[in-house]
Amino acid sequence: MALLKYSMRRALPFLVLSFAFISMQVLPFALAAGAADAQHEFAGFLLNPTDGFSYLAKMRQGFDGQWSFVLPYTAGPGEAAAINLYYLLLGHLARGLGWGLIFTFHVARVVGAVALCAALYRLIAATLPVRLQVWAFGLALFGSGLGWVAVLFGGFTSDFWVAEAYPFLAGLANAHFPLGLALQFYVISPARAPRPAAWALASLALAVVYPFGWALAAAVLVGMVLLARLWRQPARGQGQQAACVLLPGLPYAAYALWVVYSHPVLAGWNAQNLTPAMPLWDFVVSFSPALLLALPGAYLAWKQRSIALGLLAVWLVASIVLLYAPFGLQRRLITGLYVPVAVLAVYAAAHFFALRLRLVLTALVMLALPTNLFVLLGMAQAIQQQQPALYLQTDELAAYDWLDEQAAPGALVLAPERNGLHLPAFADVRVWYGHPFETVQAEQRQAELHAFLADPAGQAEFLREHGFEYVLLDDSAIGPDGWVSVFRQGNLEIWAPDEQ
């Protein structure tokens, strides 16, 4: 009984922090949905709605029965490929359970956030003394950089928008970041006993859900094997863990890499999907003040030859090296980077400031919280103002529903940018332009769209040449020559070719 009471007392702070974390992942969206009026509906996204609709479009394909993916934002998507399987699976689940796509998306996002908390606790419990674990857990979950200071001087740094690096932002951004980070933390965590089957299964899931997280985890574990050998310590356990993570996930990760470089259309998308590193000053600001302690913490791990802390040091160093390596996807490989930064910072604080540890850690946490508070305040302001990026008009939804019911599967629709972004999430159609990355040759397609919208009536030849089946316009525009209005509500009108 005494042991049970002790265990409950020890677990209570982590449970309280986890509950607070999950609540902050849910409440802003609940408030946004509650703020909608009779003419508007909350679209479902508060952070990066442009990519949010692309996730719904992927789920839509699963909802419609597909197990392979095509680019709905590209007029000629080419053959389907077995990528984005997680969102296709969520679409199948939505259909099977009778749920809406947006509701399913948020259920998956919250489940991922719960898994993130559990996996983060496991990682921290395996690397830090008990007296430091709550501090590290809270800092890793809620902390961020000094972007709030940069804002005071007119700056806008990466800790406001590079969601995959920070657990708090990751949970707000989408469904695959929190689950991907949870799986990444699990496969990286030191274990008292080998768990080959669990590692292998988690590795395969990670490669499917979040290939960049798998690539980073594999790099960290291989680096840890090399470090153990350099320290002349037994590396059998690290080698087994690395093999159980590297080998099961490698085939799918290799396939995904091959297909986005060899597929005629997906290669065009990949060429646009560049995520270069932020400037070095931005990186330092975005991960400080914790980074300023984490770097000496990594040195301490090296000096003390601690396998558990050495893993975090390798993670930190590998992420920084990959971030500034000369290739186009630099920023994608800093997944969860704030976690080793936070844990090593707490460890270093305990070493260098033992006599004033509570004061130093309190100051560290207080400096690391405001950026995420600014994020929440920004969301609250956007909700209050009902910003157009976050809310859909009921007239828009009516037009999307009409196309979903009337258009043939995969019909090509020409629509303004806003509607082009939304349409593939609500109907089984393709659009000429809708997403800056997932529309292949995006700049050219955007320019062609703008030229059409400037003079729809004179663009009948353009429509015939590319095989458009519908055009969605503002009702003040004159429809294309030879086309007839088939739907009109509010300020939106849909046109189709006159078959007579």
pLDDT tens digits along 102-140: 999 999 999 999 999 999 999 999 999 999 999 999 999
309: domain range?
100-382
CB 337 within 8 A of CB 387: no
Single-letter residue type at 127: T
Residue 49 within a domain: no
Report yes or no on 236 lying in a domain: yes
Q: What is the pLDDT of residue 199?
A: 95
Report yes or no on 214 lying in a domain.
yes
Q: Is residue 70 part of a domain?
A: no
Given a cut of 90, whether residue 7 has pLDDT beyond it is no
| Mean pLDDT of all residues in 242-251 | 95
Please tell me whether residues 438 and 420 are part of one structural domain.
Answer: yes
- Do 362 and 460 have their domain in common? no
Among 382, 416, 438, the domain-final residue is 382
Q: Is 494 helix (H, G, I), strand (E, B) or coil?
A: strand
- 309 lies in the same domain as 449: no
Q: Are residues 112 and 220 in the same domain?
A: yes
Give 390-441 pLDDT, tens digit per residue.
999 999 999 999 999 999 999 999 999 999 999 999 999 999 999 999 999 9
Tens of pLDDT, residue by residue over 304-339, are 988 889 999 999 999 999 999 887 778 888 999 999
Number of domains, the chain: 2
Compute the mean pLDDT over every residue in the chain, rounded to the nearest whole number: 93
Residue 31 lies in a domain: no
Q: Is 92 domain-assigned?
A: no
Residue 1 has what pLDDT? 55
284 shares a domain with 215: yes
Q: What 3-state class would DSSP assign to 161? A: coil
Per-residue pLDDT, averaged over 31-58, amounts to 95
pLDDT for 144: 97
Which neighbouring-strand residues pair with 392?
41
**On the CB side of 411, how many CA atoms lie within 13 Å of its CA?**
20
Residues 170 and 145 in one domain: yes
Give the CA count within 13 Å in the CB-facing half-sphere of 168: 28
pLDDT at 3 over 70: no
Q: Which residues in 279-309 are b (16+ Cβ under 10 Å) and which e?
A: eeebbebbbbbbbbbbbbbbebbbeeebbeb
Question: Which own/partner pairs from 237-243 qualify as long-range (CB within 8 Å, at least 24 positions apart)?
Answer: 237/191, 237/194, 238/307, 240/194, 240/196, 241/187, 241/191, 241/194, 241/199, 242/218
Output the pLDDT for position 275. Answer: 84
Q: 352 and 305 in contact (C-beta within 8 Å)?
A: no
What is the rounded average pLDDT of the residues 200-216?
Answer: 96
pLDDT of residue 2: 55
132 and 263 co-located in one domain: yes
Task: Report pLDDT for 403.
Answer: 97
Among the candidates 337, 364, 382, a domain finishes at: 382
- The answer to whether residue 4 scores a pLDDT higher than 60 is no
Q: Are 281 and 146 in contact (CB under 8 A)?
A: no
**Residue that is last in its domain, among 322, 351, 382:** 382
Give residue 125's pLDDT.
95
Q: Is residue 197 part of a domain?
A: yes
Q: Can you give the three-state secondary structure of 206-229, one letter per residue?
A: HHHHCHHHHHHHHHHHHHHHHHHH
User: Are 373 and 470 part of one and the same domain?
Assistant: no
Whether 201 and 349 share a structural domain: yes
| Residue 186 within any structural domain of the chain | yes
Distance of CA 13 to the CA centre of its chain: 28
Residues of 227-249 as b/e, b for ≥16 C-beta within 10 angstroms? bbeeeeeebebbbbbbbbbbebb
Q: Is the pTM of this model over 0.75?
A: yes
pLDDT, tens digit, for every residue of 147-163?
999 998 999 999 999 99
- The predicted pLDDT at position 488 comes to 94
351 and 409, same domain (yes or no): no
**Spatial distance between the Cα atoms of 39 and 358, rounded to a whole number of angstroms:** 51
Assess whether 367 and 308 both reside in one domain.
yes
In whole angstroms, what is the distance from residue 493 CA to residue 489 CA? 7
SS3 assignment, position 1: coil
Half-sphere exposure of 98 (CA within 13 A, CB side): 0
Same domain for 490 and 461: yes
pLDDT of residue 500: 46
d(CA 238, CA 227): 10
